[in-house]
Structure 1
Amino acid sequence: MRVLIIEDEQMAANHLTALLRDIEPSLTVLGILDSVDDGRLQWPHLPTPDLIFSDIQLADGLSFSLLEQVPVPCPIIFTTAYDDYAIRAFKLNSIDYLLKPIEAEALAASLHKYRSLARPATTDLVRQMQTLLSSQAFLTQTYRQSFLIQFRDKLLPIKVSDIAYFSIEGGVVSATLVNRVTDHRVTDHRVTVQPISYPIDLKLEELETQLDPQQFFRANRQFVVSRNSIREAELYFNGRLQLKLQPEPTTPVLISKDRAPQFKKWMEAF
């Protein structure tokens, strides 16, 4: 059996590898991908695995954003410290969902499940179930519609539709509102508009799973942007794109060369 591991924590990757080899000594680990960007670069050059073990929360985003873009030729067993992503996981080629820390008994059961599902008699059934999940025939995905933000001595209800983008700076995630300003400041005889931003006690990775992907896009490690905030995208150096947002952020919003095709497809899709 040939296995590919997607995991950004080296100790967790080593632990999983050791357990797999204890259970099945003939198993071969084809490689370990530690980020979404690394996966995009390495995927075309990797041998075809029989099975993928994938963590969900990686350093630069969710593994879903990788696995939804690349051809996945085999089943996936997701490994994570959280149980919030089970439904989304099974919309992909997932056959199991292991919570960390992974125990040998649970891992052995997952491998047994993989072998049983690989039999011809059950392959069609698994494919039909995945099709149903992907088409949401009996499941309606709901996304966050508002936030209750604590700011100073107040609790502020903020609609998601009023948010232009989420950003992180100095470890603090903030939501910047659409077309709202605090004041106009005069600097070097120029008037600048200061947009309203509120800190949010969530990670950008968590926001990705809660926001409607038709309306919000993860531009890079610092920004999740709303479709309605994008005025235009300019060609930038080395195949990158620079987004012009309203209101304008204090730092440039750049999309990497690798993510640019996905962004264009997203903009055209809806």
Structure 2
Amino acid sequence: MNILIIEDEEATARKLQRLLAQVAPTDTVVGQLASVEQSVEWLRTHPMPELILMDIELADGQSFEIFNRVAVTCPVIFTTAYDEFALKAFKVNSIDYLLKPVREDDLRGALAKLQALKQSLTPNLQASLANLLQQLNPSVAAQAGTSPAESRPERTRFLVKQGQRLFSVPTEDITYFFTRSKIVFLKAHDGQEWMIDYTMDELESMLDNRRFFRLNRQIIAELRAIDKVHLYFNGKLKVSLQPAFAEEVLVSREKAGDFKRWLGE
């Protein structure tokens, strides 16, 4: 196989190459990248590898951002020092999740899992694998011509954490989603808010677009959250939310027409 390594720690990247040489000597490492930006550029300008070994915490952010910016159509083995991202990893193309320091037996087992998966996808291996990855990663399905609504049902609830307690918040109880310091939160109609483990782009593809609208990069609002809308400078719209949002909420001139149509103009 042709394997791409995305890892910002040079010593760890070298160790992965040594381990691959031991457990898969006929495989070829086609590149070693250290950041989200480098990875996106490489994937846009090179043939897709057959496997990516990907760290989660990179020099310029989390590697999940790569999936939001480019269609990754090959399997991924995540290598990370943190175990709290396991659930999110398996929402993209992950076939395994290895904690650092990566051990030879763990890497060997992950590669064996990939080979077993390939052997089970017959008779048309390439088409079957592509179809599986589209199911794992709706953004790939969308770029292949399948709408997110066709590949994944709309979310009806979200799991949140409060102290040591986990519980579900029904979507009908949510007034809007917003970002603060690059962390995504949901806000309920009663004013409570909780952190959630999704990007705004992921949320936009999960939610019913008849009820939720992406006002800007920072906010996705439910229809009942729209309190007032005012004309603003240069064709923009200023929106007041209920419960109130701490910052000014603007809809760009480019999105204003779609927003007014969504409101029922």
TM-score (norm 2): 0.54
Q: CA deviation at 1:146?
A: 8.1
Q: Secondary structure at the match of 2:69?
A: coil
Pairing partner for 2:219 from 205, 226, 243 = 226
Q: CA deviation at 1:7?
A: 1.6
User: Following the alignment from structure 2 to structure 1, what is the Cα–Cα distance between the partners of residues 4 and 68?
Assistant: 16
TM-score (norm 1): 0.54
How large is the RMSD of aligned CA atoms in angstroms? 5.0
Identity of aligned residues (%): 34
Pairing partner for 1:213 from 190, 197, 203 = 203
Gaps of 5+ in 1: 149-158, 178-199, 236-243, 250-263
Q: Structure 1's 14 and 129: CA in aligned 2 closer, same or farther, altered over 3 A?
A: same
Q: Structure 1's 102 and 4: CA in aligned 2 closer, same or farther, altered over 3 A?
A: same
**Count of residues in Structure 1 that have an aligned counterpart in Structure 2:** 204
Q: Structure 1's 163 and 146: CA in aligned 2 closer, same or farther, altered over 3 A?
A: farther
1:149-164 aligned within 5 A:
none
- The superposition leaves residues 221-265 of structure 1 with CA deviations (integer Å, 9 ceiling, x where unpaired) of xxx833459x99x99xxxxxxxx997559xxxxxxxxxxxxxx8x
User: Following the alignment from structure 2 to structure 1, what is the Cα–Cα distance between the partners of residues 8 and 175?
Assistant: 33
Higher helix share: 2
Q: Is the 8 A contact 2:74 2:133 kept in 1?
A: no
User: Following the alignment from structure 2 to structure 1, what is the Cα–Cα distance between the partners of residues 133 and 72?
Assistant: 13
Does residue 49 of the first structure (1) align with residue 39 of the second (2)? no
User: Following the alignment from structure 2 to structure 1, what is the Cα–Cα distance between the partners of residues 2 and 133?
Assistant: 23
Q: Secondary structure at the match of 1:5?
A: strand
Q: Structure 1's 30 and 128: CA in aligned 2 closer, same or farther, altered over 3 A?
A: closer
Q: CA deviation at 1:165?
A: 4.0
Aligned residue identity for 1:17: Q
Q: Secondary structure at the match of 1:213?
A: helix
Pairing partner for 1:167 from 172, 181, 186 = 181
1:28-39 aligned within 5 A:
28-39=28-39
User: Following the alignment from structure 1 to structure 2, what is the Cα–Cα distance between the partners of residues 89 and 216?
Assistant: 26
Aligned residue identity for 1:14: R
Aligned residue identity for 2:83: D
Q: Structure 1's 70 and 163: CA in aligned 2 closer, same or farther, altered over 3 A?
A: closer
Aligned residue identity for 2:95: I
Aligned residue identity for 2:73: P
Higher strand share: 1
Q: Structure 1's 210 and 11: CA in aligned 2 closer, same or farther, altered over 3 A?
A: farther
User: Following the alignment from structure 2 to structure 1, what is the Cα–Cα distance between the partners of residues 109 and 95?
Assistant: 11
- The superposition leaves residues 127-151 of structure 1 with CA deviations (integer Å, 9 ceiling, x where unpaired) of 66656555457x9685466878xxx
Q: Is the 8 A contact 1:164 1:247 kept in 2?
A: no
